[in-house]
Chains A and B, each alone.
Chain A
Amino acid sequence: MLSFRGTADRFSFLVSLAVVAVVAVAATNLGCTSRSSSTTVKTPDGRSLELTKADTLRINLGSEPPTLDWNKATDTTSSHVINNIMDGLVSYDLSDTELALIPALATEWKPSEKAKVWTLTLREDVVWSDGVKFTGQHVIDGWRRLMAKETASEYAYFLYGIKNAKLFSEGKVPWEQVGVSLTGSNTLRVELEKPMGYFPQLLTHASTFPIRLDLIAKHGDKWTEAGNMVGLGAYKLALWQHDREIVIEANDTYYGSKPKVKFVHAQMINEQATAINLFDAGKLDCVDGIPSVELKTQRKRKEYRSTGSLQIYYYGMNTKKPPMDNVHFRRAVAHSIDRQKVVQVLDGGEIPLTGWVPSGMFGYFADVGLEFNLEKAKAELLKAGYGPGKKLPKFSLHFNTNENHQRIAEIVQSQLKENLGLEVELKNEEWKSYLANMKTDPPHLFRFGWLADYPDPDNFMNLMTSYSDNNRTRWADTRYDKIVETAAGEVDREKRRELYRKASQMLLAEGTPVIPVLTSVAHLLVSNRVENFPINAMRRFEYKNVVIKP
């Protein structure tokens, strides 16, 4: 899933003004926007909700979620909300460090024919938040919509493991031939192309959640608005004031144990430093993402939490845009980035990464990809046709507005200049428009992160296939696709590992559309009044078990 951490700001100018006003006195305790301890909000259906401090978990999303349509959402901000208002067939035990699978809408999942066919038993006692009974058809509707060409979901490839799914997505076979069927009122039979032991893990992901086609038919794109949207989650969407705030409230019809905290109030504060100020003032219960310049101070606090995360930080290149269309040029860029220095500056426990799978996961290799090597970088630049006396091309590096991304971008900019003499222009954009531009016209060099949707290397390798719409580099290699597909179905662990090594090398050293930089670490602040706050390597923020101390 596209990961975004922290974000953009528009009002920093005003804040700067405020700062200069107070600088004569002190540089601390900037005035911040205040919100009283109890807030009353009006929902679209005319109710007014009183969000008292004792009943409300106050969080910061960092930016407006690009969408709440779970067939279409691709990013961490959107899934932060979706994972609370919806449940999948299968779920993770977030209190378990191994993230064991636990039943959710499905009570049971059984493999047969060596994990090529899966039989799922669905719960029969579940109703949607509007009272409609949940059925297996909703699951099938969701999967069909996910893969249908007209939905244009970037996650369409997610269930390509299912028999004929890819062909259906390409419009070559009718839905009836796809290997999904209801056998009995509550049994779902799924036939895969190849054996796939991790198939149940896919069903934890938002893109595979059941969907209500009747609501989409009724409201069109507006079905995700508060008032229109219904869900199966522990919470339901009460209010979505775009670019401002989201309120979710406990869902009375939820089949599982009811959430302990009645409301979750999510603000969209772009500036991480502002969020920390609000946290200090007791107006936020959690800050996700700490500016790296503040880490040294913040990590001494008792509210500080951190966890290794199955998330990579990388730079992608648009391989169709000169000069990035030249593979030698791309390799020269990759060879001239010194990840060790990036990690040293961030100083948050991040791990330099040349491979494509995050460290701490099966399929991680310390020795694949293009390492920092000046001689090789210069040789590749020469091969790319930029010999002595030839003018070096200018290009731009884009990132979504965020203090940490800017800091890393400035280091990379300076390294490219120092090592190869390349002039790189930095550009930043707010998350939603950044993602939108990434779809239509990916820039030369751009920052991205990828957070595991399920803890299997396939999730990372799959991302760069020619048919993955989350691959923004426009690089395509059918040989790579083939190896990744074979590896997904390989049951022998060692053989599978070797296939991934081969594919990684092909991706990173031969094609080089992407340059991995590091495996991320999540840094958070969590208020002392909050217990059971979900902190896990997959950064799934599910709030149903959170308790607020009185």
Chain B
Amino acid sequence: MRSSRAYRRFVKNRAAIVSIFFLALIALAGLFAELIAPYSYEVQNIDRVLEGPSKDHWFGTDSLGRDLYSRIIFGARMSMAVGILTAIVSVVIGGIYGAVSGWLGGWVDTLMMRAIDILDAIPSLVLLILVGIVFTSYQPFENPEIRALTGILFALSIVGWVSLARLVRGQVLQARELLFVEGATAMGASPARILTRHIAPNILGPVVVMLTFQIPANILFESFLSFVGLGLQPPFSSWGVLANDGWRAKSSPHLIVFPGIALFLTMLAFNLFGDGLRDALDPKT
């Protein structure tokens, strides 16, 4: 079986295994933040603002005396959710759209690509502000974190999948011409089977690489969204919010260093995980 071979190849890749454990750890920490974090993400202690790392506060405190370590753990919840969910949304929408466009070709392809061009031509800021207005006037959820998450997902699913769709279309166009695909077509395989069994494994590499870049970018993008009223609003925490607050306080470097390290390690883990996945799934190896 191919899949088990892929699995064996994947587990042999030590970096990828470490990465997936790390990502799982971060995700679990975020999920059970209430149990793990030593302090609340919102309780201020204004007698101890902007303190560096200490025994009481491992990562120091922020400009309102909140424990940075706890805020990073609580922030992991939002950041991982945004990173993973937006990736799924991008892959599903962009992947299907690109595959259909590339596979069918002809005027359908032209039409679908022009639609993307139009969407791309609208500045994303304008689009996001529009989404922001809609979402702030229609708020289906009470919980502010869920509300922010749905807003972010909605915003990113509008602007985020486009580049992925282009990539997938290009890859499908290329793969369609490969001999074994022609062979499968000649043997009467259905388009769905050809796409999933023959083409998908061949284009997975570039897609995974793109995703590993997109996930951290989306995590940061979330902090930007709060400016158009879509993202998290204070006092809730996410890594994007922490990084955004932190870079301003030049004289308190711990505020950017710790969220930065968290982001950096996560980004690295996603990259290594993606690498491993690509190597394992590549049919040529």
List the interface of chain A (C-beta within 8 A of B): 9-10, 12-13, 15-17, 19-20, 23-24, 27-28, 30, 271-273, 276, 291-294, 296-298, 341, 344-345, 401, 403, 406-407, 409-411, 413-414, 417, 425-428
Q: Could you tell me if A414 and B42 are in contact, using CB atoms closer than 8 angstroms? A: yes
Q: For A292, list chain B residues within 8 Å (CB).
A: 63
Instruction: Show 15 A/B contacts (Cβ-Cβ < 8 Å), sorted by A.
Output: A12-B223, A19-B243, A19-B247, A20-B260, A27-B256, A291-B248, A291-B249, A293-B252, A294-B248, A294-B249, A406-B234, A407-B63, A407-B64, A410-B234, A411-B64
With known contacts A9-B227, A16-B244, A23-B256, A293–B249 Cβ distance under 8 A: yes
Q: For A13, list chain B residues within 8 Å (CB).
A: 220-221, 223-224, 227, 244
CB distance from B245 to the nearest CB of A (A): 8
Residue B235 lies at the interface, judged by CB distance under 8 Å to chain A: yes
* Count of residues in B whose CB is under 8 Å from the partner chain: 38
Q: For A406, list chain B residues within 8 Å (CB).
A: 234
Q: Could you tell me if B220 and A17 are in contact, using CB atoms closer than 8 angstroms? A: yes
Q: For A298, list chain B residues within 8 Å (CB).
A: 251
Q: Could you tell me if A411 and B257 are in contact, using CB atoms closer than 8 angstroms? A: no
Q: A15 to B243, alpha carbons, bound, how many Å?
A: 10
CB distance from B50 to the nearest CB of A (A): 6
CB distance from B232 to the nearest CB of A (A): 10
Q: A16-B247, A20-B220, A293-B249 are in contact. List 8 more A-B contacts (CB 8 A).
A: A12-B223, A13-B221, A27-B247, A297-B250, A406-B234, A410-B44, A426-B234, A427-B233
Q: For A341, list chain B residues within 8 Å (CB).
A: 46
Residue B179 lies at the interface, judged by CB distance under 8 Å to chain A: no
Residue B206 lies at the interface, judged by CB distance under 8 Å to chain A: no
Q: For A428, list chain B residues within 8 Å (CB).
A: 227
Q: Could you tell me if A16 and B264 are in contact, using CB atoms closer than 8 angstroms? A: no
Q: For A9, list chain B residues within 8 Å (CB).
A: 227
With known contacts A293-B251, A293-B252, A403-B248, A12–B260 Cβ distance under 8 A: no
Q: A170 to B169, alpha carbons, bound, how many Å?
A: 66
Q: For B64, list chain A residues within 8 Å (CB).
A: 345, 407, 410-411, 414
**B247 in complex: contacting residue of A273, A296, A401, CB < 8 Å:** A273
| Nearest 9 pairs of A and B residues by beta carbon | A13-B224, A23-B260, A297-B251, A273-B248, A27-B253, A19-B247, A293-B249, A293-B63, A27-B256
Residue B229 lies at the interface, judged by CB distance under 8 Å to chain A: yes
Q: For B227, list chain A residues within 8 Å (CB).
A: 9-10, 12-13, 401, 428
Within 8 A of A (CB), among B205-238: 217, 220-221, 223-224, 227, 229, 233-235
Q: A345 to B261, alpha carbons, bound, how many Å?
A: 27
Within 8 A of A (CB), among B4-36: none
**B253 in complex: contacting residue of A17, A28, A409, CB < 8 Å:** A28
Q: Could you tell me if B251 and A19 are in contact, using CB atoms closer than 8 angstroms? A: no
Q: Could you tell me if B257 and A23 are in contact, using CB atoms closer than 8 angstroms? A: yes
Q: A425 to B253, alpha carbons, bound, how many Å?
A: 29
Q: Could you tell me if B221 and A23 are in contact, using CB atoms closer than 8 angstroms? A: no
**A425 in complex: contacting residue of B50, B144, B240, B261, CB < 8 Å:** B144
CB distance from B60 to the nearest CB of A (A): 13
* Chain B 33-74: CB-based contact to A (< 8 A → 1; otherwise 0): 000000000111010011000000000000110000000000
By DSSP majority rule, is chain A's interface helix, strand, loop, or mixed?
helix
Q: A413 to B144, alpha carbons, bound, how many Å?
A: 15
**Closest residue on chain B to residue A295 by CB atoms:** B251
Q: Could you tell me if B49 and A345 are in contact, using CB atoms closer than 8 angstroms? A: yes
**Closest residue on chain B to residue A347 by CB atoms:** B49
Q: Could you tell me if A409 and B125 are in contact, using CB atoms closer than 8 angstroms? A: no
CB distance from B114 to the nearest CB of A (A): 29
Q: Could you tell me if B233 and A16 are in contact, using CB atoms closer than 8 angstroms? A: no
**B224 in complex: contacting residue of A12, A19, A294, CB < 8 Å:** A12
Q: A298 to B227, alpha carbons, bound, how many Å?
A: 27
Which of B217, B243, B252: most chain A CB closer than 10 A? B243
Which of A271, A294, A296, A406: most chain B CB closer than 10 A? A294
Q: Could you tell me if A294 and B234 are in contact, using CB atoms closer than 8 angstroms? A: no
CB distance from B236 to the nearest CB of A (A): 10
Which of A12, A272, A344, A406: most chain B CB closer than 10 A? A12
Q: Could you tell me if B234 and A413 are in contact, using CB atoms closer than 8 angstroms? A: yes
Q: Could you tell me if B233 and A15 are in contact, using CB atoms closer than 8 angstroms? A: no
Q: A30 to B243, alpha carbons, bound, how many Å?
A: 13
Q: A283 to B17, alpha carbons, bound, how many Å?
A: 48
Q: Could you tell me if B264 and A413 are in contact, using CB atoms closer than 8 angstroms? A: no
CB distance from B74 to the nearest CB of A (A): 15
CB distance from A545 to the nearest CB of B (A): 33
**Closest residue on chain A to residue B62 by CB atoms:** A293
Q: A95 to B171, alpha carbons, bound, how many Å?
A: 71
**B233 in complex: contacting residue of A10, A293, A426, CB < 8 Å:** A426
**B248 in complex: contacting residue of A293, A401, A411, CB < 8 Å:** A293
With known contacts A411-B44, A414-B42, A414-B44, A294–B264 Cβ distance under 8 A: no
Q: Could you tell me if A413 and B250 are in contact, using CB atoms closer than 8 angstroms? A: no
**Closest residue on chain B to residue A14 by CB atoms:** B224
Q: For A425, list chain B residues within 8 Å (CB).
A: 144, 233
Q: For B250, list chain A residues within 8 Å (CB).
A: 27-28, 273, 276, 294, 297
Q: A16 to B261, alpha carbons, bound, how many Å?
A: 13
**Closest residue on chain A to residue B47 by CB atoms:** A344
